[in-house]
A and B are shown apart, each in its own frame.
Chain A
């Protein structure tokens, strides 16, 4: 197992290096740069002043020099300076990270807590009215974009209660209740979609397992229905579910952009969009690298979980 993890980590470093090249190249391929944006806010362009500003920001240098500079900064833990804010990037990014991670984790917990049990119930009661209701609910979840649901929640709250969640981040030490409300609503909006997917995968996977011989044997031996389902069937049906959860979590980090925007949460995802619009290279590069690291780590975690869930899957042996 240790060898496997070491191998995966080594591959992860190479993947991140590849990612860094892709991120760097894509950003430079996007039309315009920070200097164009700055002049845009001023409503005019002066070629001489533009050149001076490019020099000041260091974006007049060859691309390879800029890239190497960025790698050096990552290695030394210096994330450079935000072009937009004229301040070091790290102190700006740092407070955003826990917000997004907490929201992603809560959304995932919500999705699992809702998706797995409903998937199980739906499979066990296959083709019953309850199954149909749950399938419609999950289809609705898949059909509704998270931002739309988020906006509906906001509009519902403001229309019926003339209330909306706080406009700025409330830390748990400040007010646990407000903090919970601030995160639960967007987590609900995001988690509902993911729960729908998890529910459908759980249902189909479980249905397949429930038709296996060993399930029939367990029932023939007189084991109760819940024991057969929860102890024997579900564990074996979880492999595809875990895979989907891993992929969903990875997508979630990037997919939180709109939800954070709708709920005005100061997280990485919303900030990233603004940074892209401003062509704030240092901020964008480092935030995308952060997302890449989260994706790689979540994939690694999923692979490790395979081994835990299925005794046949053993690594390094």
Chain B
């Protein structure tokens, strides 16, 4: 594209935005109390940073949580609002944005005067660099050695930069969800002038905090970015993250006041109750981790290539009993997406009742499972012998043990095989298993992020290898649907179909009991653990 054409496109896009689209605007979120500046927030990590600050090369909260304050997105879910939806998205590096051409183009108007932590100016080049690298464009100037969310950007045809402060994402087809995925903590903008590999050892960001020191295995220290582009932010002088491997020590450190905040996704209901009993002034907020317990069944191998056996498994497992026994009530029953009020898209209790395994009377479900097993020639007296795999981690093993007991009652004798973390994903991706007890975490609470990743034909994370042409069409259709109400209905229908096919029976959605000291303000857990770690709005009332 020539410079003239680029400039013309830029002018046209700006004009179109001003005329047609009421632009969404970025704003500093309103706080309920008058915030105070200063202080250092002390936080825990359950392990040292998995891949430094290289968010784009991992899919773990261990990286996202301490790396988010150093970086910025184009847009972000409002840190002060619990709910994550298109309505709660605010601008970060993008000052305004606009959907155009019936949602075929998403145009961002970038902030001016933003600087990277090494004083280089931030421009549209950085945005193009990041997203061309993520979608692995043919002419991308850099490549990630591991790219876990490439599928999120499969619908982007081109990233155009008409000028230094305008970026246009040209899409192959309309995709309202793209904006939500861009608002996830998993979607920061990298600097074009530093190699992507350097984020594994350091962090050149535009974020509210700069990396001061990372002493391996000991602490990560970030300090306030005095040149941050949002005036008056951040409130805190610094952040300090301490990797503490032992859960008991983490809890003791929080209880002793050495730490101010728990780690997202790590505080169970029981642990929170213990903490609250010990220190009544602690503030506990239950929220959705956006992590589900689910059963993966290899549809390419016997016996789970038989839909009747898969359905029997789904009918056999009493979800509500699992929530009570394994999670002590610290989880909720739901289908492929988290139910309200913990999520936005999930099926409600009424809709769930008609689906396999969700009926109010577990005995009825067990009877249905037995009947299905009898049809394929098995019974509790003459059981089907299978091997159930799970990760050699307590939360997986607890769930698997419960499932084994449930399956036994309907004529499936499952022997537990624990797989080391190092081998788990490789084994699951290869399909080298019969049935597995699995946990799945989703970045944003969004149908596209979930469906394309976990249910689409050929996706490496579709561990069951379930592939239905009908479901793919439904997923594609909802992805392009512009009417939010209609889309919600379509998403409901997909979830019902997935459960009816026992594609990957969802057992529950885990809740986290985020615990903070009362002096910590504006650190509000969202509907997903991955999206509220920016710390820009957090302040300490001491």
B201 & A86 in contact (Cβ 8 Å cutoff): yes
The digit string for A58-91, where 1 denotes a CB below 8 A from any CB of B, is: 0000000000000000000000000001110000
The answer to the question of A42 belonging to the interface, with a C-beta cut-off of 8 Å to chain B, is yes
The digit string for B46-70, where 1 denotes a CB below 8 A from any CB of A, is: 0110111000011110110000000
A216 to B508, CA, bound (A): 77
Known: A49-B145, A162-B257, A262-B248. A43 touches B420 (CB 8 A): no
A286 to B180, CA, bound (A): 46
Minimum C-beta distance from A182 to chain B (A): 13
B249 & A159 in contact (Cβ 8 Å cutoff): no
The answer to the question of B268 belonging to the interface, with a C-beta cut-off of 8 Å to chain A, is no
Minimum C-beta distance from B25 to chain A (A): 35
Q: Residue of A at shortest CB range from B200?
A: A86
The answer to the question of A144 belonging to the interface, with a C-beta cut-off of 8 Å to chain B, is no
The answer to the question of B153 belonging to the interface, with a C-beta cut-off of 8 Å to chain A, is no
Q: Which of B180-202 touch A at CB < 8 Å?
A: 197, 200-201
B248 & A155 in contact (Cβ 8 Å cutoff): yes
A42 & B244 in contact (Cβ 8 Å cutoff): no
The answer to the question of B422 belonging to the interface, with a C-beta cut-off of 8 Å to chain A, is yes
The answer to the question of A204 belonging to the interface, with a C-beta cut-off of 8 Å to chain B, is no
The answer to the question of A163 belonging to the interface, with a C-beta cut-off of 8 Å to chain B, is yes
B245 & A31 in contact (Cβ 8 Å cutoff): no
Which of A40, A87, A163, A274 touches B201 (beta carbons < 8 Å)?
A: A87
Minimum C-beta distance from A152 to chain B (A): 10
Minimum C-beta distance from B115 to chain A (A): 26
User: For the side of the interface on B, what is the size category?
Assistant: 35 or more
Of A3-11, A263-271, A290-298, the one with at least 4 CB within 8 A of chain B: A263-271
A42 & B59 in contact (Cβ 8 Å cutoff): yes
Q: Residue of A at shortest CB range from B144?
A: A49
Q: Residue of A at shortest CB range from B428?
A: A45
Q: Which of A176-210 touch B at CB < 8 Å?
A: none
The answer to the question of B148 belonging to the interface, with a C-beta cut-off of 8 Å to chain A, is yes
B460 & A270 in contact (Cβ 8 Å cutoff): no
A154 to B57, CA, bound (A): 36
The answer to the question of A173 belonging to the interface, with a C-beta cut-off of 8 Å to chain B, is no
The answer to the question of B394 belonging to the interface, with a C-beta cut-off of 8 Å to chain A, is no
Chain B residue numbers with a CB within 8 Å of A53 are 145-146
The answer to the question of B378 belonging to the interface, with a C-beta cut-off of 8 Å to chain A, is no
Known: A42-B59, A86-B52. A158 touches B256 (CB 8 A): yes
Chain A CB within 10 A, most for which of B57, B146, B245: B146
Which of B218, B245, B429 touches A168 (beta carbons < 8 Å)?
A: B218
Chain B residue numbers with a CB within 8 Å of A151 are 246, 248-249
Q: Residue of B at shortest CB range from A45?
A: B429
A168 to B256, CA, bound (A): 15
Which of A39, A85, A154, A266 touches B425 (beta carbons < 8 Å)?
A: A39
Q: Could you list which residues of chain B lie within 8 angstroms of chain A, going by C-beta atoms?
A: 47-48, 50-52, 57-60, 62-63, 145-148, 197, 200-201, 215-219, 242, 244-246, 248-249, 252-253, 255-259, 278-279, 420-426, 429-430, 441, 460-461
**A-B pairs with lowest CB-CB distance, top 7:** A32-B422, A42-B148, A44-B460, A45-B429, A158-B252, A43-B59, A266-B218
